[in-house]
Amino acid sequence: MIESIPTQWEIIVVDGRWTGNKAPDKFSSKDLRDKVESYKNVTLIEYSGMEFEARNKYFEASSSFDILILIDSDEWISNFNEEIFYNYISHLTDGKHKIESLPSNSFIPRLFINPYRWRYYKSHKFLKFDDGEIENISHGVSVVNGIEMTTDDKLRPKELTKYIEDYQKQLWKYETEQGIDRLA
């Protein structure tokens, strides 16, 4: 869904299966990677590991960015009003923010101001700010005006959707067993 992203934006794609995902291939096909790299504003990073570590690759790669928007492979920007969006974010100084996601409204923040200051912390449920503060990913999340995303699981192969569901169950179980499903 790269075509839905404004062409003036830099795009970072992190490609690789997550630890515990039983997909047969570690990375996307060469044809798909070549297609992604054919866009002039795309940087492709290959990484295979824990999901939260892969998401940290976005933060690490965005060290010169003022904002970072995380968009998964089954999502796209379905509504974008440039004037409203840029006016809204111009008043934000730091933080994590939600983008309306249709049809199901997710609590997960997708837009980060000064993304180089954030990292996922030990799981996909917590974020650590560079001042050491650790937050539940859904706490203090405001909705950004001027942009909406749409998601469609049908864009993924059925086998991959099943792998993802199984992986998420394994991840939640692992995080609970390790005591990283909550802040101590």
Work out the percent of the chain whose per-residue pLDDT is above 70: 91
Is residue 127 scored above 70 in pLDDT? yes
Q: What is the dihedral of CA 100, 117, 58, 143, to 10 degrees?
A: 0
- Domain hosting residue 65, numbered range: 2-177
Measured in whole angstroms, the distance separating CA 184 from the mean position of its chain's CA atoms is: 25
Nearest to 65 by CA among 12, 7, 140: 12
Residue 43 confidence (pLDDT): 92
Provide the 10 A C-beta neighbour count for residue 171: 21
Instruction: Give a yes or no: residue 160 inside a domain.
Output: yes
Distances (CA, A) of 29 to 26, 35, 115: 9, 10, 29
Residue 23 predicted with pLDDT over 80: no
Q: Which comes out higher in pLDDT, residue 9 or 168? A: 9
Q: With beta carbons less than 8 A apart as the criterion, state whether 182 and 137 touch.
A: no
Question: Is 182 a domain residue?
Answer: no
What 3-state class would DSSP assign to 86?
helix
77 strand-pairing partners: 149
- The verdict on residue 103 lying in a domain is yes
Residue 155 has pLDDT above 80, yes or no: no
What would the mean pLDDT of 117-132 be, rounded to a whole number?
88
* Count of CB atoms situated within 10 Å of the CB of 56: 19
The helix/strand/coil state of 165 is: helix
pLDDT at 42: 93
Q: Which residues pair with 135 in a beta bridge?
A: 127
Q: Is residue 41 part of a domain?
A: yes
Domain count, the chain: 1
Q: Would residue 184 count as lying in a domain?
A: no
Do 178 and 131 meet the contact criterion of CB atoms below 8 Å apart? no
At residue 181 the predicted structure's pLDDT band, cuts being 50, 70 and 90, is: low
Q: Is residue 162 part of a domain?
A: yes
Q: Where are the beta strands (DSSP E) in the chain?
A: 11-15, 42-46, 67-69, 75-80, 95-102, 111-113, 118-120, 126-129, 134-136, 142-151
User: For residue 77, is pLDDT > 90?
Assistant: yes
Report the Cα 26 to chain-centroid distance in Å. 19
Confidence of residue 20 (pLDDT cuts 50, 70, 90): low
**Across 7-16, 100-109, 121-130, which has the greatest mean pLDDT?**
7-16
Q: Decide if 107 is inside a domain.
A: yes
The answer to whether the bond into 103 is cis (omega within 30° of 0) is: yes
**Higher pLDDT, residue 138 or 7:** 7
Provide mean pLDDT across the span 151-157. 74
Summarize the confidence of residues 132-149 as an average pLDDT.
86
Q: Let me know if residue 119 belongs to a domain.
A: yes
